[in-house]
Amino acid sequence: MTFESLMSPFDLSGLPVKNRVALAPMTRARAGESRLANEMMAEYYAQRAGVGLVITEATTVSAQANGWVGSPGIYTDEMGAAWKQVVDAVHGAPGGGAPIILQMWHTGRASHSAFHGGELPVSASAIKIEGDGVHTPEGKKEYEVPRALETDELAGVVADYATAAQRAKDAGFDGVEVHSANGYLLNQFLDSKTNQRTDNYGGSVQNRFRLLREVVEAVTEVFPSDRVGVRLSPNGVFNDMGAPDYRETFLYAASELNAYELGYLHVMDGLGFGFHEQGDPMTLADFREVFHAPIIGNCGYDAETADAAIASGAADMIAIGRPLIANPDYVERLRHGWPLAPLSDMSTWYSGEPNAEGYTDFANYEPSGAEA
């Protein structure tokens, strides 16, 4: 199969991409205790720069946003400067490199006081995650009841995203993605299951969308709107999410975001991996009706389903995750019909330490004489 649609070039809101494959943001946890982007991360992303678009792993916008061992941040000048080596490596990779987008993150209630010197994690409301627990610097812990953010604290949260965007711009990123998916802070405000507030940020869908709106408006003061994306997970139940009014919520959010002429909407429409279990799943077609800029689909796609989604017009690009872990040359393998390497031991994927195993130690395919 030639995957002509997936391999075709595209104009992503004025950003030229050489194919329709995006590297999905995956929290690979190689930044160590410093949370500084490092040389190994630069190597990892450059290895995968044969894709059309690189979206980085989720990157925290403040110390309060932290909630994952070994994940990178961009909330100090040193952190911002450290990302420049990654950007330069991706832009300068063999074959012309690729545009690179920084995904901005606040974990909210998915964090733990062990990340914050004993201070509770924050959320829209004081509602605990019902789940297996969270990995912390002190080992695995039970989730805690978070502290609901005060209304007068929210302007500071918005400012953290704007400052992070400016640091990303200074580091040379081509744009930023606002992570409002997978049960993290902005998703916690958007979802009626986790937002029981009685102020102007709770209650109606209009109010629950308010914090995401303010973040988007702040970030588009830093980057042009067509260099800003937003990620949503309409079918998601990861981190104990999912409310009965999810269809109303996400269609409203997408229709409102449409007015900002964003670079793209990144929709986790796929139902893979057990984290997308809403009863009547939303599809890319639902979002096409209300969002008119490019759409990136994500979650559980393989080359065949990705190519079909683009050929049908349902998506403009597809973000690929797990196959790109073991196949840094994923695009070249598809283009030439070379086999994909099997996925490695999942226990090596998210180490929390800057080590190469399961990260940068995957080889490109070496064709035989007949294949070359």
Catalytic residue among 44, 75, 161, 184: 184
Residue 260 annotated to the active site: no
What are the DSSP calls for 183-197, one per residue?
TSHHHHHH-TTT---
Q: How far is it, in rounded angstroms, from Cα 108 to Cα 222? A: 24
N-terminal to C-terminal alpha carbon distance within the chain? 17
Contact 6, 335 (CB under 8 A): no
Amino acid of residue 143: Y
Strands 10-12 and 15-17: antiparallel
Q: Cα–Cα distance between 257 and 282 in angstroms, integer?
A: 17
Cα–Cα distance between 335 and 304 in angstroms, integer?
13
Q: Do 61 and 13 touch, CB atoms closer than 8 A?
A: no
- Residue 282 DSSP label: -
In DSSP notation, 166-221 reads: HHHHHHT-SEEEEE--TTSHHHHHH-TTT----STTSSSHHHHTHHHHHHHHHHTT
Q: Phi first, then psi: give them for residue 219, nearest 5 degrees.
A: -70, -35
* Long-range own/partner contacts, residues 208-213 (CB < 8 A, 24 or more apart): 208/124, 208/249, 209/252, 209/253, 209/256, 211/154, 211/157, 211/158, 211/186, 212/178, 212/180, 212/186, 212/253, 213/256
If one counts every other C-beta atom within 10 angstroms of the C-beta of residue 355, the result is: 14
φ/ψ (deg, to 5) at 240: 60, 45
**Can you tell me whether residue 296 is helix, strand or coil?**
strand
Catalytic residues: 184
